A and B are shown apart, each in its own frame.
Chain A
Amino acid sequence: MTVDYPDWTRLIQLIGADIMMPIDVQAAYIMMPIDIQAQYVNLEVDIVAQTVGNIGIDIKAATIGNIGIDIKANTLGNLTIDIEAQSIGIYLKADWEVLQGTDKNLSGYAECPDGSATFVIDYTVVADTAFIICQWGFNLAADCGGQASLWFRHNATDARLAMTGGRMGNSQSFSKPIAVVAGDHIKLSVFQVSGAAVYGYGCVGGYEI
């Protein structure tokens, strides 16, 4: 259809054993119900428009290959996906985190001399990810009653990014998580002043996404 034909409302019905039908439709207003029933379907849909109304896709098949959906829009209404399958390789981010796919807990310990900072955790965040620290904590092993603090330092500048302290230990959950970018180290050190060397323990928990 290379010319405008506004009165074209007749049903296009193709019946055959082998059909290949590229469709290029350009118009100010398009309403196009498509009903496909076949033994095998390979369908590519590319839509460029100022406004896209509702898009409903209903697929029923014994086997479905890859489904790629690429949406770019300033505003997107509700996106409802209802999938029933025996096996599927899609996880929404929240579901994946519940399954602990990105969940990460780091812990470490060392003998900490009195009056100096001792590293108990050193971990480099993996390329193309960020480590979102949601909680941390520390404790001293011996019943020494000493004061101690836990420091989180930036690996390049050695600046103290966060610290906490307490008597024998402490733990905190962050309402605003700390994000550590790829390549940076998560380095936690315990500083204790119990008067003797004791084992210090530290931990951080979060997601590497």
Chain B
Amino acid sequence: MKPLKVLHKGDFNDMEQHWLNDGSVIIHLHKRRGKKHYHFRVKNLYQPNEEEVDIDTGKPIAKGSL
């Protein structure tokens, strides 16, 4: 499942958000059942134009690379 979908479904136990000066946020989700971790970066969190971006550069991720 894509990380953003995990966030919106609330299918995790622990979340850490690191808010960056450009307004994007690096999110780490942890689901204890299955010991799953998701680490990703989002621009415009919870906005209509919300998108997952490259975690290092903050630039859009090329299609097909997710």
Contact surface of A with B, Cβ cutoff 8 Å: 100-101, 103-111, 118-126, 129, 185, 208
Contacts and interface: CB of A to CB of B under 8 A. Distances in A.
Nearest to A103: B13
Contacts of A106: 14-15, 17
A126 B10 contact: yes
Interface of B: 8-10, 12-21, 25, 32-33, 45-46
B17 A100 contact: no
B39 to A, nearest CB: 14
Contacts of A100: 13, 32
Nearest to B11: A126
A208 B46 CA distance: 18
Given A100-B32, A101-B33, A185-B46, A121 B13 contact: no
A121 B19 CA distance: 8
Task: In the A-B complex, list the 3 residue pairs whose CB atoms are closest, starting with the nearest.
Answer: A108-B17, A126-B10, A110-B19
A208 B15 CA distance: 13
B19 A208 contact: no
A129 B16 contact: no
A101 B21 CA distance: 34
> Residue among A108, A125, A185, A208 with the most chain B CB within 10 A?
A108
Contact of A111 (B14, B15, B21, B45): B21
Given A100-B13, A105-B14, A107-B16, 20 more contacts: A100-B32, A104-B13, A104-B14, A104-B15, A105-B13, A105-B15, A106-B17, A108-B16, A108-B18, A108-B19, A108-B25, A109-B17, A109-B18, A110-B19, A110-B20, A120-B17, A122-B45, A126-B9, A185-B46, A208-B10
